[in-house]
Structure 1
């Protein structure tokens, strides 16, 4: 454990004078990081987890992310150094099912305060569109249908992990993260609680904006390259039609393209959405073939200079504006 990060500078200087730094560095961290006057060393798997850790942790945490800006999270491969450093963290926040390399590394790290965000809300299965079951998942034991979608048990294969794109579910996860940080660092529990409440309030306001902003529209159907918006579509009574499945790099079949062309005509679809971190080739080809426009709908898996905003809330508001325009919301 890199204990030096948890020792205030003045104490460190005193320890150097006494020749005690080597002793303190051998012993791992015990109890609250804040008890040593330092910050809780938090490792987040990718941007949606990083955002929660930073917003809720505030000044009491030092957050690093395993997925650098511009890297497609699904494709992340960890360097041995990153895997080694993971075991030194005070607290790990990840979302099981998005990044296989991270899931494996977290399991090996054995850090006591490890939180899987997927356990903090209910995961569901979403196909390429609402009410369409994906070809590769099928109906699995342990799931049940309700209102045209399925609820999946924690960690079940085929569950859609993109919960952060639904502000209501993301708020549920935020509450769980806040409670777990209170437990990991009880000395700063009041601050974590206050920050959680503030974030949940912002997410509730965002939910209201989406609800009112998408209430009346010409069409309820949107086409996207990456079927990441199942929770968002379900929350606001929309129909997501994904060119590929939940994997942004999957190539669609000719039959799927034909199906999308028919749907676009029938449901008066105006726009094919692509994203910033994955190839837009298929979206642009489909749009050209069907005479549709293209625009960005950001699954918020990472923030880059190309993002329409500097953080989660700004990019989600840009997503809302793009959806309103594409759906003819008024």
Structure 2
């Protein structure tokens, strides 16, 4: 939208999407919206009803269904053993991408405000396809999984393309600007993707544990997958059994780093680190400290790469 206007962000800064409740002061944003972009009910189930009931005059775009999005299944166990390396192109993309007829959205939470902050949107026109209502009625993707789709840069490019096309149709006078912005964004992210690949390559064989399973899209794309997660969902307490299994995992694999997140207390991370030589680091899948705007998404990816390499190399 650069050069045309700025989007409104519903879930911003350090606000957690988990259990997010729309404030009365925010309702007018949905009521007056021409276009609403959201990842989908897998990420923010609490937004399904407000979008359905308030954004009645808007084109609603569910980014989990955007053309070109690569999907990954949720990892539910304590240990992540199925390391299917090889990036999410070709065969893996075909295996994991769901069709739009087999709907079975599982209401897993976790949201990301930056999808809304990038400058584009495309493809599906959802004027007659109210996703909020579908979500409330059990509109679920069959086997749909990890909703942190933006952490794969290829998905970020697909999201930008989806945004550009949608905005161009809603605002044809500025169509050329939206499409120009999307093209520039794509080129910027493709270049950054190569930089990150080179940065991560020296630490690709090291083991690490994440606070919760938010990074699979990033890990899989860059062939540097985590060995486990302390919790499946940050709003739910991990059981003593899960904590114990993670501690054994750290010991058995000689895990180098355990990563916490800035939105949540580090207590659980400190517990699993007790008695081990593993270091602690911080990964932020939402860019909570970053300023909204054209640099948010590239800086989010850069920060994830820097945090991983720094901790795994022992530099922070």
Q: What range describes the TM-score normalised by the shorter chain of this pair?
A: 0.7 to 0.9
Aligned-residue Cα RMSD (Å) equals 2.8
CA distance in 2, matches of 1:192, 1:299: 26
CA contact (8 A) 1:117 1:177 kept: no
CA contact (8 A) 1:300 1:315 kept: yes
1:156 equivalent in alignment to 2:105: yes
1:244 equivalent in alignment to 2:231: yes
- Match for residue 62 of structure 2? 116
- Once the two structures are TM-superposed, the CA of residue 202 in structure 1 deviates from its matched residue by 1.6
For residues 52-201 of structure 1, the aligned pairs below 5 Å read: 57-96=1-40, 97-108=42-53, 109-120=55-66, 121-128=69-76, 130-131=80-81, 150-153=96-99, 156-157=105-106, 159-201=145-187
- Once the two structures are TM-superposed, the CA of residue 275 in structure 1 deviates from its matched residue by 1.0
Q: SS of the residue aligned with 1:223?
A: strand
Deviations 1:250-296 (A, max 9, x none): 22223322322232233332211111112221012212242322111
CA distance in 2, matches of 1:153, 1:230: 20
Deviations 1:143-170 (A, max 9, x none): xx969x8544556225211011111111
Q: Provide runs of 4+ in structure 1 moved above 6 Å.
A: none
CA contact (8 A) 2:167 2:178 kept: yes
- Counterpart pick for 1:279 among 257, 265, 273: 265
Q: SS of the residue aligned with 1:243?
A: strand
Aligned residue-pair number: 258
- Match for residue 135 of structure 2? none
CA distance in 2, matches of 1:88, 1:177: 18
CA distance in 2, matches of 1:296, 1:83: 33
Q: SS of the residue aligned with 2:2?
A: helix
- Match for residue 323 of structure 1? 308
CA distance in 2, matches of 1:210, 1:319: 9
CA distance in 1, matches of 2:96, 2:237: 25
CA contact (8 A) 2:207 2:257 kept: no
Q: Please say which of residues 108-117 and 184-193 is displaced more in the overlay.
A: 108-117
What TM-score do the two structures reach when normalised by structure 1? Answer: 0.70
Q: Which has the higher strand share?
A: 1
What TM-score do the two structures reach when normalised by structure 2? Answer: 0.73
Q: Please say which of residues 164-173 and 311-320 is displaced more in the overlay.
A: 311-320
CA distance in 2, matches of 1:146, 1:316: 22
Structure of greater relative contact order (alpha carbons < 8 Å, 6+ residues apart): 2
- Aligned CA distance change for structure 1 residues 217 and 303 (closer, same or farther; 3 Å): closer
1:314 equivalent in alignment to 2:311: no
CA distance in 2, matches of 1:280, 1:94: 29
